[in-house]
């Protein structure tokens, strides 16, 4: 027993490179402690043995975030994007949006501008005139059968539109015809030989362009603003030598005798007077219902109408 202790003490002494002192809390070592020999290690009070010093303990809590490192080098320059396009249509749309007078090339570039007349249209078997006043404004007036198509009624749409070479999208600010009309989603169109075909098979509608006639200077569409007591905006269309349609949007607060709506009827004329006979009227006492004769004069594409003391002027849509 004494011999064993002596040997362990000698081994301990030889394996240390500093001073060791025994105390009440164990051995205090000043210097290095080296454990040699295969299969030897430190034995702890719970009986566990550690054979290697490089043992990873449990993961500790995350430390505080360090300072942000310097910015990395700039990345590789990407490919150039597609060049933007300035088209004639975009130029004309910008001029129109600014409220300026459109140059001749803008009017010539938009084949939709003008009035288009259709009959026997859709489920309501409607008669209608679609007028593209300029590059951004439109009027639509329709007279059909609510019995055949209860989703709408005789009335008008007025608003703005945008177009491409193959479709247009109309946004109505005034709508008195319910679900009828052209406002809403994009409508495909094509133009050939003064015929405007709209929609996609089997739901298509065909309108004929209303072309001016030197024998009857009234024929065509006429656009007016700030008209009468209601300060209305309106389009008056003489389809041919006997048929007219009228669409009006005004203020019923300024003139309670009428409301936004339409008229359809027939007319006859002399060189200075036209005589309307209204068969459909949704605008109350506005318009031409109840008027037997309207004096007119045309000069420089301006139509001046006089009824009693009231005179209003319209500009030809072309």
- Could you report the per-residue pLDDT of 156-207, keeping only the tens digit for each? 999 999 999 999 999 999 999 999 999 988 999 999 999 999 998 778 999 9
Residue 39 pLDDT more than 80? Answer: no
Between 50-59, 227-236, 239-248, 303-312, the lowest mean confidence (pLDDT) is in: 50-59
Residues in the chain: 318
Structure token pair of residue 135 = 């590059």
- Round to whole Å and give the CA distance between 159 and 175: 9
At residue 128 the predicted structure's pLDDT band, cuts being 50, 70 and 90, is very high
Pair 249, 156: CB distance under 8 Å: yes
Pair 227, 117: CB distance under 8 Å: no
Phi, psi of 304 (to 5 degrees): -105, 125
Residue 107 pLDDT more than 80? Answer: no
Alpha carbon 91 to chain centroid, angstroms: 19
Pair 156, 144: CB distance under 8 Å: no
Task: Annotate 226-272 with DSSP letters as a single string.
Answer: EETTTTEEEEEEE-SSSEEEEEEE--TTT-TTB-SEEEEEEEEE-SS
- Could you report the per-residue pLDDT of 191-248, keeping only the tens digit for each? 999 999 999 877 899 999 999 999 999 999 999 999 999 999 999 999 999 999 999 9
- Round to whole Å and give the CA distance between 257 and 162: 34
- Could you report the per-residue pLDDT of 133-160, keeping only the tens digit for each? 999 999 999 999 999 999 999 999 999 9
Secondary element (H or E) of residue 95: helix 88-97
The pLDDT mean for the chain works out to 85
């Amino acid at each position: 027993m004494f011999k064993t202790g002596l040997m362990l003490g000698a081994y301990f002494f030889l394996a240390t490179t500093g001073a060791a002192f025994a105390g009440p809390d164990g051995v205090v070592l000043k210097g290095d402690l080296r454990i040699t020999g295969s299969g030897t290690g430190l034995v702890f009070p719970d009986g566990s043995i550690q054979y290697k010093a490089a043992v990873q303990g449990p993961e500790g809590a995350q430390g505080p975030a360090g300072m942000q490192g310097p910015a990395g080098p700039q990345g590789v320059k990407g490919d150039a994007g597609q060049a933007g396009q300035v088209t004639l249509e975009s130029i004309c749309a910008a001029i129109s949006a600014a409220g300026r007078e459109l140059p001749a090339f803008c009017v010539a570039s938009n084949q939709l501008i003008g009035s288009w007349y259709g009959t026997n249209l859709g489920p309501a078997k409607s008669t209608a005139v679609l007028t593209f006043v300029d590059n951004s404004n439109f009027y639509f007036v329709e007279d059909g059968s609510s019995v055949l198509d209860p989703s709408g009624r005789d009335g008008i749409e007025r608003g703005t539109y945008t177009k491409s070479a193959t479709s247009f999208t109309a946004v109505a600010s005034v709508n008195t015809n319910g679900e009828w009309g052209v406002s809403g989603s994009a409508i495909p169109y094509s133009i050939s030989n003064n015929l405007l075909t709209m929609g996609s098979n089997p739901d298509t509608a065909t309108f004929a362009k209303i072309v001016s006639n030197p024998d009857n200077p009234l024929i065509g569409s006429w656009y007016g603003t700030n008209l009468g007591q209601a300060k209305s905006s309106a389009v008056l269309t003489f389809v041919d030598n006997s048929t007219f349609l009228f669409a009006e949007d005004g203020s019923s607060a300024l003139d309670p005798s009428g409301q936004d709506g339409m008229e359809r009827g027939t007319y006859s004329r002399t060189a200075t007077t036209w005589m309307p006979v209204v068969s459909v009227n949704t605008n109350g006492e506005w318009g031409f219902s109840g008027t037997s004769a309207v004096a007119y004069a045309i000069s420089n594409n301006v139509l001046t109408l006089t009824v009693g003391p009231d005179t209003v002027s319209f500009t030809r849509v072309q």
